[in-house]
Structure 1
Amino acid sequence: TSLNLQHELFCRLANTYPEFQHPGSVGEETKAEATVFTVCGPNDGSVTLWRDRPALLVSSTSWTEDEDFSILLKALEEYEGYIRGGSLLPSLVCVITGKGPQKEHYRKLIDSLHLDHVKICTPWLEAEDYPLLLGSSDLGVCLHKSSSGLDLPMKVVDMFGCCLPVCAISFNCLPELVKHDENGLIFRDSAELAEQLKSLLSGFPSLDGKLGAFRAKLCSSRDQCWDDNWDQTVLPLLRSLSLPEP
């Protein structure tokens, strides 16, 4: 997602959700064009990212019993503890999108948390804004567990399609999609997720670490065309069959 599109999205969201509003004093002329992540120059209209911006974490859910979001909330509490303990980590804005029967239950849990460096937002996005948000985010989190153990979470496919690295909760066939330590990380509980957030966001917003490497790998694999995939995957299998010449 281009910086201009990111800024437009963040400005729209800031009209409804204070988590996206710039908290500081940046001058009255600039303030209307500033979000917590981006600023639009008053003279040339160029958009830049704030150097000290928070990291943007995103997850999506239908708010059902299939996904235990208490795991994410506990991990965010532990992340808050790292910062209070002196770890040099960015603040977080965590966006959890979607509608569903348990949203109000988790909304109450979120409101009961005492977090200074983590803000949690639960918007409902227009369909066209969802991929823009994924492309504007720094890290995705997936808490989907397959009840059959056989289906893969499409939300991870969506995130990968936007070159967004993912931390995903473990279940049987997940490694077919999320390659641990290659395009994302797999966790089993809130403690592991908190450690992964700490590891990936250390040094943010620099792209020199593991988070930047994951994103680069996802972007390079997305650029691979159908013919290249055929030559690398299918053609060797056909050749190994030693089929007779026509």
Structure 2
Amino acid sequence: MAASIVALIVLALALGPLLFVWRARRWPRGRSVCVVVVGDVGRSPRMQYHALSLARRGFDVTLLGYSGSKPHDELLSNKKIHILHVLEVHLIPVGPRVFQYVIKAVVQAVLLLYALLLKSPPVDYILLQNPPGLPGIAVCWVSCFLRGSKLVIDWHNYSYTMLGLTHGFAHPLVQLAKWYEKLCGRLSDLNLCVTNAMREDLAKNWNIRAVTVYDKPASFFTNTPLETQHQLFMKLGHTYSPFRARAESLDPDFERSAFTELNPRSRKVTQLDGRPALLVSSTSWTGKGPLKERYGQIIVQMCLKHIQICTPWLEAEDYPLLLGSADLGVCLHKSSSGLDLPMKVVDMFGCCLPVCAIHFQCLHELVKHEENGMVFMDSEELADQLKMLFSEFSNSDNRLNQFRKNLKESKQLRWDENWEQTVFPLFTHTQGVWPKT
């Protein structure tokens, strides 16, 4: 890690003869932003939303990150947004673990700096997602210094706390990461964060002033019409058996999924009597996650009688449709810092989908127990909540429907409205002075 900082300094010195010439040049730029994700762009919804909002406001946007999952179609079709891929770097299985981290950080730094200086057009702002902050913060600051841009960091969490989950918070590598993140985080011109708790922590312990920009659901997270639900279930049923009909319809012309039935003559879709409840838990270890095979084996060994478990990987356009078709969401996200909120719950609430969420420090900023869902402490409490909620599932005035009603009446702000109120004024404040918050 220290080696990556040294490498950046050496690189800057090597560019010494060009430094002042480069800084003095008047770049032909308009309103432009480079959104940087040191990760899979398709799995970074908040940064995709930033890019779309900036583009709608007339900014030319370069979205820089790793290839992998497919981003939203709206982003791909936007002519103001150009996606620039950077080669993903993996740990080399040679030498001590610390050595592997150092080599990875140095290579990432070189590739990222090359992309920012030589492949990306000059921009007014670099908007960086953190974590991961190593080596992104230092590299983006060097690029901003050389090109006269402003650095904006969007704090989703802390890199050092995520590293601490693996190595323990007393590990020298974690302490070094904390020092780096605090030092380099102060180099930014503007800072955004995801909760008030994180904003207060950044101010108190890091001497960084930030503006809270809560994650809000995009406009496409909403209730899914019954006809669209049926189409989705039939599509998923081709690959995943739990979505297929349990029994044939009395009329062979009718089209059935496990949850819905289509009358081919009237084209009317109805929910099946006695249909199963649909529970959705969006996690990082299913779908394409690295632990999918392990958990798949555990699921097979469980021998469940009245429950079917499916671990699909959904396209970006199908994910909101599934949330809008479900009866309950379960969130197992626990923050490494205790200061960020699960975006999956934000998406669920956008679809007016109640949740059961595991408790952590600032969850109350999003989930209100017995109002828009339930909060649990452990697996036993979750099991009790599921039994209670689904025991009354066939009743129209059940608890789930009450939670759903509360979510509809809350009239939540959408991402675009929230962004216009909180973020856009910062990008148009040319003097770089923070508005009062």
Q: TM-score, structure 1 length as denominator?
A: 0.75
Q: Does 1:62 align with 2:293?
A: no
Give structure 2 stretches of 5+ with no counterpart: 1-223, 422-437
Q: Distance in 1 between matches of 2:296 and 2:401?
A: 32
1:131–1:162 CA contact under 8 A, matched in 2: yes
1:167–1:186 CA contact under 8 A, matched in 2: yes
Q: Distance in 1 between matches of 2:411 and 2:230?
A: 24
Q: Distance in 1 between matches of 2:412 and 2:265?
A: 36
Counterpart code for 1:123: P
Q: How many residues align?
A: 194
Give structure 1 stretches of 5+ with no counterpart: 64-96, 231-246
Q: CA deviation at 1:171?
A: 0.5
Q: Which residue of 2 aligns with 1:87?
A: none
Q: CA deviation at 1:223?
A: 6.0
Stretch moving more, 202-211 or 174-183: 202-211
When residues 172 and 224 of structure 1 are mapped into structure 2, their CA distance, relative to the original with a 3 A threshold, is: closer
Q: Which residue of 1 aligns with 2:342?
A: 153
Q: Distance in 1 between matches of 2:253 and 2:385?
A: 36
Q: Distance in 1 between matches of 2:366 and 2:287?
A: 23
Q: Which residue of 1 aligns with 2:296?
A: 107
Q: Which residue of 2 aligns with 1:14?
A: 237
Secondary structure (helix, strand or coil) at the match of 2:356 reads: strand
Q: Distance in 1 between matches of 2:400 and 2:288?
A: 29
1:51–1:205 CA contact under 8 A, matched in 2: no
- The alignment's C-alpha RMSD in Å is 1.9
Q: CA deviation at 1:40?
A: 0.3
Q: Distance in 1 between matches of 2:413 and 2:333?
A: 27
How do 1:211-222 residues align onto structure 2 when only pairs under 5 Å count? 211-222=400-411
Q: Does 1:134 align with 2:323?
A: yes
Q: Which residue of 1 aligns with 2:258?
A: 36
State the Cα deviation string for residues 149-172 of structure 1 (Å, max 9, x = none): 000000000000110000000111
Q: Which residue of 2 aligns with 1:90?
A: none
Q: Distance in 2 between matches of 1:183 and 1:165?
A: 6
**Residue among 303, 308, 333 paired with 1:119:** 308
Q: Distance in 2 between matches of 1:15 and 1:98?
A: 16
Q: TM-score, structure 2 length as denominator?
A: 0.43
Q: Distance in 2 between matches of 1:171 and 1:203?
A: 28
Q: Does 1:207 align with 2:429?
A: no
1:61–1:99 CA contact under 8 A, matched in 2: no
State the Cα deviation string for residues 83-113 of structure 1 (Å, max 9, x = none): xxxxxxxxxxxxxx63211111101100111
Q: CA deviation at 1:27?
A: 4.1
Higher relative contact order (CA 8 A, sep 6+): 1
Identity of aligned residues (%): 60
State the Cα deviation string for residues 198-233 of structure 1 (Å, max 9, x = none): 111122133302111100111111367969xx9xxx
